[in-house]
Amino acid sequence: MSLPTPRIEIDVARLVDNAAALLSLCLSRGVELTAVTKAVSGSPRIAAALHACGVRSFGDSRIANLRRMRESGLKGQFVLIRSPAPSEAEAAARWADLSLNTEISVVKLLGRAARARGSVHGVILMVELGDLREGIPPAELDDAVAQVLPIEGIELAGIGTNLACLNGVRPSAAKMRELSSLAARLEHRYGVRLRYVSGGNSANYGWLVSTRDTGRVNHLRMGESLLLGCDALTRQPIPGLHADAFTVVAEVIEVRTKPSVPDGEIVQDAFGHQPAFTDRGNRRRALLAIGRQDIEPATLRPRIPAEIIGATSDHLVIDATEAGLEVGDEVAFDVGYSSLVRAMTSRDVLRAFTRGTGVELSAEETVADRAVPRRGPA
């Protein structure tokens, strides 16, 4: 019996290939890899597969995902890659070995929570190098380090930065040299050795393969390049990696020939956009049972000769004039990062794992699955 739709099919073997290749690349440059699992909601099955090929450090922005992986029995280092909120300090100290931080008040709370547990929590202080998301300005970094070092229950594990996420600032060789210089200065001034100088995320792939000298940068946090096999700066496939480890599948619920231009006064759509249209005459349109609650249409690519026209919360409309679709047909899509995130976090998208030749599928139950009954058998 076929699995319900919508679903996301996950080829674990291809993910393992990607992870092994990136891990080998990082190790050859003296860089430790933390596999970022936030886009797959901390899936224990995916994390276990990555562990089997040598990954030993797992990063996530959600404490619940770190907890899910740890409670599954996964062994390794767990890194909270979003600075914990003050209300999360106790949980962060319990479920994460390391966390990225910028606020001294939060580090103090983490130290208190770690002491109560009889443990030590590692902290990587994030430095602002231009992308204007999280980060301590370089001019204030010495003072921040001076405040962190005496906090009981806290180890200053390193410094790091994040680029290309909010405003698309490239993690260039110059930026990495600046981070290395800051690390060297801190080590000299305070007589410490930083375990980690964390240069960034998947956007650092181009720098990693092209630089002759990684300097003091010895750690990267990579998710998109590992999961989707692409360069996060260009979204171009990385040679030798798989760009199709994930497949979103949705079912056709209506097929009709309709005009390509709506009839009536055009106002804002349901999401506040003002649509524009090109008159292409009557076209064969298919309506699919998946929507913006489940995916991001802009990063979804049909594997058939079809074009995405638009989407609402619960429906995806495609031009299927050349595709010959009928009601009940399934349409497969390649996914970009934002579509992957939404599909893996939607409680209405079934996760299915390919095995062997790829024709056998099995479902992974999540917390949401246990809370909400599934539609049909899994």
Q: What is the pLDDT of residue 267?
A: 84
Which token pair is 281? 């005459």
**Are residues 122 and 27 located together in one domain of the fold?**
yes
Q: Which residues contact 368 (CB under 8 A, 6 or more apart)?
A: 347
Is the pLDDT higher at 126 or at 373? Answer: 126
**Are residues 21 and 113 located together in one domain of the fold?**
yes
pTM of structure:
0.92
Residue 354 inside a domain? The answer is no
Query: SS3 of 7, please?
Result: strand
The CA distance from 110 to 84, in Å, is: 9
* Annotated catalytic residue within 38, 75, 175, 258: 38
CATH assignment at residue 198? 3.20.20.10
**Total number of domains in the chain:** 2
**Are residues 277 and 180 located together in one domain of the fold?**
no
Which token pair is 330? 């399934």
pLDDT, tens digit, 9 for 90 and up, residues 67-77: 999 999 999 99
Average pLDDT taken over every residue of the chain: 93
Of the candidates 198, 228, 258, which is a domain's last residue? 228
Q: What is the pLDDT of residue 375?
A: 39
* Beta strand pairing call for 98-101 and 121-127: parallel
Residue 38 a catalytic site member? yes
**Are residues 215 and 250 located together in one domain of the fold?**
no
Q: Count Cβ atoms within 10 A of the Cβ of residue 111 and give its class: 0-12 exposed, 13-18 middle, 19 or more buried.
A: buried
Which token pair is 102? 């910028």
Q: Which residues contact 254 (CB under 8 A, 6 or more apart)?
A: 286, 287, 327
pLDDT, tens digit, 9 for 90 and up, residues 170-219: 999 999 999 999 999 999 999 999 999 999 999 999 999 999 999 999 99
Domain span at 188: 12-228
> For residue 352, what are the CA distances in angstroms to 194, 335, 369?
41, 15, 13
Residue 356 inside a domain? The answer is no
Q: What is the pLDDT of residue 361?
A: 56
**Are residues 224 and 131 located together in one domain of the fold?**
yes
Question: How would DSSP label each residue in 57-104?
Answer: EEEES-HHHHHHHHHTT--SEEEE-SPPPGGGHHHHHHH-SEEEE--H
DSSP 323: T
Which token pair is 294? 């489940």
Q: Count Cβ atoms within 10 A of the Cβ of residue 104 and give its class: 0-12 exposed, 13-18 middle, 19 or more buried.
A: middle
**Are residues 218 and 256 located together in one domain of the fold?**
no
**Are residues 276 and 198 located together in one domain of the fold?**
no
Residue 371 inside a domain? The answer is no
Alpha carbons within 13 angstroms on the beta-carbon side of residue 326 total 0
**Are residues 224 and 252 located together in one domain of the fold?**
no
Are the beta carbons of 286 and 311 closer than 8 angstroms?
no
Residue 217 inside a domain? The answer is yes
Q: Which residues contact 327 (CB under 8 A, 6 or more apart)?
A: 252, 253, 254, 255
**Are residues 172 and 279 located together in one domain of the fold?**
no
Q: What is the pLDDT of residue 263?
A: 84
Which token pair is 88? 């999360």
Q: What is the pLDDT of residue 367?
A: 35
**Are residues 134 and 279 located together in one domain of the fold?**
no
**Are residues 78 and 178 located together in one domain of the fold?**
yes
Residue 88 inside a domain? The answer is yes
Q: What is the pLDDT of residue 372?
A: 35
**Are residues 299 and 154 located together in one domain of the fold?**
no
Of the given ranges (58-72, 270-284, 307-321), which has the lowest mean pLDDT?
Answer: 270-284
pLDDT tops 50 at residue 370: no
Residue 211 inside a domain? The answer is yes
Residue with tokens 């380090």: 145
Residue 190 inside a domain? The answer is yes
Please name which of 356, 339, 258 lies closest in space to residue 299, comparing C-alpha atoms.
339
pLDDT tops 60 at residue 359: no
Of the given ranges (54-63, 160-169, 238-247, 258-267), which has the lowest mean pLDDT?
Answer: 258-267
* Length of the chain measured in residues: 378
pLDDT, tens digit, 9 for 90 and up, residues 85-106: 999 999 999 999 999 999 999 9
Please name which of 357, 358, 339 lies closest in space to residue 349, comparing C-alpha atoms.
339
The CA distance from 178 to 127, in Å, is: 10
Query: SS3 of 273, please?
Result: coil
Q: What are phi and psi of 106, to 5 degrees?
A: -75, -40
Handedness of CA 36, 232, 177, 33 (dihedral sign): positive
Residue 221 inside a domain? The answer is yes
pLDDT, tens digit, 9 for 90 and up, residues 289-326: 999 999 999 999 999 999 999 999 999 999 999 999 99
CATH assignment at residue 299? 2.40.37.10
